[in-house]
Chains A and B, each alone.
Chain A
């Protein structure tokens, strides 16, 4: 079983040189720590920055320079700044190659719910609905089950949706799964030491396990 950093590490292996990548809040933010040296990757922050650099050193933080999580950050040589409409223009026109975000639920046809729990204070969807509606490649980073121990990989989402038929890949602490175009989760990899039986027991949606499923390679 992986911890949050393990999930981030596994997702980082999906990133290719030349990608523009948008990272959501939470586990997706950690992915930046594991992008292999030498890859030419540009991080997009939807509040209006391409080429997001690391956090600043103490004393160098600038209130005018933040990411979409409102954290102080830095620019890099080659960074560019733009307004919010332009930022979502590059998202909508699919210039961003990969979007990585968290989820509360994903359904076997690729629907995602990650913004609202009825009866609880709703903070808003931010840019998530725009991102999932337009991104050509979305990876969900999440825990396989919720705090109540219930599966988050479902036949149908029970929470209000963020987007429909948009998720293609999911990485959890237990597994890497594809969402098949015709519906269903396809088990690609197991986390070290996790059995396919266990993954089946915590996956509520339709799950396809074909042949020997390899363990993830993290290094």
Chain B
């Protein structure tokens, strides 16, 4: 097997440079690559275009990169409650492209599947359709949406092995598998690197061929955005 293991997030991100386009997995704060984001903040790399469903919150996730003005453009479906994000957007420091969530996922998927574009009905007749080719199939209109091109995809999985095979846990899976397939270089951080053979080949979510670098992260905070509970009766 080809060994993809690198020491840590610093080594994994060593050639990420100013102006690059990054995909970052996660939905809200669930399943985000915490270690790699911290390394990018410490590294201070700037003018990044970030493709990520959300933009973190103040003081956590991509919110940390926003605080250090490292992000030039966000491509997201929902940017939620983030005061620093809002301030930068209104002041014109940050460019934001909002796209439908399914379109975001499918543009990642297209990239990973080696397809240049997809057709989706999402956004037909809305401002999302502005400037895009529309095609009619069987009486219904669809927008042509292009596959993303990302220099790096950065994903978070639960377990992985040295071959780069990945397994995700619960809804922390979200965008991670499609983004893992879509990066020119894919970095995977995992909670645990297990011995080769420990992951059942039938149960692997992302085959190692898509992963170029893998490392075991540490000190996962896994912050919860909305702690909703049920009363014990």
Contacts and interface: CB of A to CB of B under 8 A. Distances in A.
Given A63-B30, A87-B105, A55 B230 contact: yes
Interface of A is mostly: loop
Given A70-B30, A71-B228, A133 B123 contact: yes
B153 to A, nearest CB: 13
B223 interface: yes
A209 to B, nearest CB: 29
A43 interface: no
A66 B80 CA distance: 16
Contacts of A48: 27, 171, 173-174
B223 A129 contact: no
Interface in B188-233: 205, 222-230, 232
Interface stretch (B2-10, B15-23, B64-72, B94-102): B94-102
A72 B105 contact: no
Interface string B170-191: 1111111110000000000000
A63 B100 CA distance: 24
A46 B78 CA distance: 13
Contact of A65 (B53, B76, B171, B177): B171
A70 B232 contact: no
A16 B121 CA distance: 27
Given A87-B102, A164-B125, 18 more contacts: A48-B27, A54-B230, A58-B229, A62-B170, A66-B28, A67-B171, A70-B30, A83-B175, A85-B106, A88-B102, A121-B86, A123-B78, A125-B100, A125-B128, A129-B103, A130-B122, A160-B126, A165-B125
